[in-house]
Structure 1
Amino acid sequence: MPSPSVFHEVLCAVFQVRDHLPGEPPVLSVLLWQRAFDPQAGSWSLPGGSLQADEDLRSSALRQLAEKVDLRQVAHLEQLSVFSEPDRVPGPRVIASSYLGMVPSDSQPNLPPDTRWHPVSMLPEISFDHRQIVERARRRLAAKLSYTNIAFALAPAEFSMSALSDIYCAALGYPVDSTNLLRILSRRGVITATGTVGRTGPSGGRPPALYRFADKQLRITDEFATLRPPL
Structure 2
Amino acid sequence: MGKRRPVLEVATLLESPIPVRTITQIQAEVEAERQLPEAKNYEVGRFFRPSVTVDVVIFTLQERELRVLLVRRGQWPFQDRWALPGGFVREAEGLEAAAARELLEETGVKDVFLEQLHTFGGLERDPRTRVITVAYYALVPNQRLTPAANADAREARWCSVYHLPELAFDHDLILARALTRLRAKIMNSRVAFQLMPEKFTLTQLQQAYEVVLGKELDKRNFRKKILASDVVLETDEKQKKGRQRPARLYRFNEAIELED
**TM-score per shorter chain, which class?**
0.7 to 0.9
> What residue is the counterpart of 1:44 in the other structure?
82
Summarize deviations over 1:47-106 as a string: whole Å, max 9, x none.
111112212111110112223x24332521111110011111113110010101011133
Matches within 5 A, 1:109-148: 109-112=146-149, 114-148=155-189
AA of the residue aligned to 1:111: A
Using the size of structure 2 for normalisation, the TM-score is 0.75
Counterpart in the other structure of 1:161: 202
Contact 2:233 2:250 in 1 (8 A): yes
Look up the equivalent residue of 1:40 and give its one-letter code: F
Q: Which deviates more, 103-112 or 154-163?
A: 103-112
Q: Please point out which of 14, 21, 29 is paired with 2:67.
A: 29
C-alpha distance after superposition, 1:98-129 (max 9, x if no partner) = 10101113334252471110100011121111
| 1:92 to 2:129 alignment | yes
Calculate the TM-score normalised by the size of structure 1. 0.84
Measure how far apart 1:45 and its partner are: 1.0
> Are the equivalent residues in 2 in contact too, given 1:27–1:119 (CA < 8 A)?
yes
Larger relative helix fraction = 2
- 1:2 and 1:90 map into 2 onto residues whose CA distance is 23
Q: Matched residues in 1 for 2:253 and 2:128: separation?
A: 48
Contact between 1:150 and 1:218, CA under 8 Å: does it hold in 2? no
| Alignment-mate amino acid for residue 94 of structure 1 | V
1:61 corresponds in structure 2 to 99
Aligned position for 1:226: none
Q: Any gaps of 5 or more consecutive residues in structure 1? A: 20-25, 222-231
Contact 2:230 2:256 survives alignment (8 Å): no
Structure 2 gaps, min length 5: 1-44
Partners of 1:5 and 1:92 within 8 A in 2: no
CA contact (8 A) 1:165 1:177 kept: no
CA contact (8 A) 1:81 1:99 kept: yes
Contact 2:53 2:89 in 1 (8 A): yes
Sequence identity, in percent?
32
| Alignment-mate amino acid for residue 251 of structure 2 | R
**3-state SS, counterpart of residue 224 of structure 2:** helix
Query: Once superposed, what is the RMSD of the aligned Cα atoms?
Result: 2.2
Aligned length: 212
Contact 2:142 2:195 in 1 (8 A): yes
1:22 aligns with none
Alignment match, 2:54:
10
